Amino acid sequence: MAAQAINTASTAAFDRAADWDALAVRARAVRRTKAVVLYAFLIAVSLPIILPYFWLVTIAFSARAGVAETAVLWRSMAVIMPVVVAFWLTVALAQSRRQSWIGIAAVAAIGVFAFALLVGPDLHLGNFIFLWEPDFASVVRSRIGEVKGAVQFPNVWHAFANSILIAGAQTAIVVTVASLAAYYLSRFQFPGRSSMLRSLLVLHAFPVLTLIVPMFLMLYWIGLLDTLFGVILVLVAFELPFAIFIMKGFFDAVPWDIEMSALTDGASRRQAFVSVVLPQVRNGILAIAVFTFIRGWEEYIFVFTFLIRNSNWTMSLYMYWVRDDVMGVDYGVVSAVGVFYLVPSLILYMAAQRYLMQMSIGGVKG
């Protein structure tokens, strides 16, 4: 009886062991299917996002006679898509680091060669004419025989400098004020502190367009209408609440101990803030600096409303007027201006990505 029982038990164990292989096979199959479906979905979703950017770049560098062609786009896609897939496969299939480096180098070489062959002959810098020809609008129009009515464009570098000035000054003011205000909110107890914290968020909830008429009138009365300084002040006012809120989270994370320690080490409150607390929130400062700069760089509504003279144009206004004046005549130039406008913020984002990733907003503590 006992022997029989043991027998059955071992058979059962054997059956289960046999099942495990089947289970493993099935699990592997499910995992692979899931991965394939997921990648397919992600590629399908990201294509419509990537494609326009890519098209913008190809038109800017390849369009002749002002027409927005797709031929170059498809040809360059035909090179780049297989190259991306090949990269992916090489990394996935490589047995060692050496192999994967060789594979990547080979794919890159083939890719560059194919690109030079298929797309290379079509590339040129003619659409960036605005960089060296301030009166490019007349030139472009004359190509199709229309000579009159071109907008008087300022030098693009002038608009570029205006944008840098607005974004830079706004960033400097926001970072300084937000750090000080957030430190005070984080460390000091004063009447109205919690309602102030709450109102910070409410302030940010205002759609800026609703305030544009009163802002316009106020700037007019103060005499700052059509000045860069006026726009900078308005932008600072709109950016500050959010920046203060984020900086408060960073200051909250700095332990009291090191601040007290600095005081007992002989520092004054201000010295402790500068030499001990500020270095701890460096990442927060970088994050709000980058965000504020990019906000200022892309600003359109306020500069469009408050700036009138073309010597005050920023890049966004320049872009707007190029589109208004040359669109329909030369898509290539419009795209080229777009690429020129895009590059600085792209570089900034890529350089600061590491710090932006660390930005998190703490909960409101009353």
Partner 1 sequence: MAKIEFRNVVKRFGAVEVIPDLNLVIEDGEFVALLGPSGCGKSTSLFMLAGIYVPSGGELLFDGHVVNEVETRDRNVGVVFQSYALYPHMSVRDNILFPLRFKKTPRDEALARVTAAADLVRVAELLDRRPSELSGGQQQRVALARALVKEPQLLLLDEPLSNLDASLRLSMRTEIKSLHAQLGVTTVLVTHDQIEATTMADRIICMRAGRIEQVGTPDDLYLRPSSLFVAGFIGSPPINLVAGEAEDGMVTVNGARFPVEGASGSLTVGLRPEHLRIGDTGFAGRIAQIEPMGREILYVVETGMGAVRVLEQGSSAGHSTGEQVKIGFLSENSLVFETERQKLIAGAHVREPV
Interaction site with partner 1 (CB under 8 A): 255, 257-258, 260-268, 271, 275-276, 279-280, 282
Q: What is the DSSP string of 133-191?
A: -TTHHHHHHHHTT--S----PPPHHHHHHHHHHHHHHHHHHHHHHHHHHHHHHHH---T
Q: Cβ closer to partner 1: 120 or 279?
A: 279
Backbone angles phi, psi at 94, to 5 degrees: -60, 140
DSSP string, 70-81: SHHHHHHHHHHH
- Indicate the residue among 4 and 189 with the shorter CB distance to partner 1: 189
| 209: exposed, middle or buried (Cβ count in 10 Å: 0-12, 13-18, 19+) | exposed
Nearest distance from C-beta of residue 363 to partner 1, angstroms: 23
Pick the closer one to partner 1 by CB: 221 or 256.
256
Give min distance, CB of 325 to partner 1, in A.
52
Q: Which is nearer to partner 1, 284 or 296 (CB)?
A: 284
| Nearest-10 crossing angle of helices 71-93, 2-62 | 150
Please, what sign has the CA dihedral across residues 141, 146, 151, 153? positive
Largest CA distance in the chain: 109
CB contact at 8 A, 201 and 246: no
Closest approach, Cβ 282 to partner 1, in A, equals 8
**Minimum CB separation from partner 1 for residue 314, in Å?**
37
Q: How far is the CB of 355 from partner 1 (least distance, A)?
A: 15
Smallest distance from the beta carbon of 260 to partner 1, in angstroms? 5
**268 vs 311, which CB is nearer to partner 1?**
268
Nearer to partner 1, 175 or 272 (CB): 272
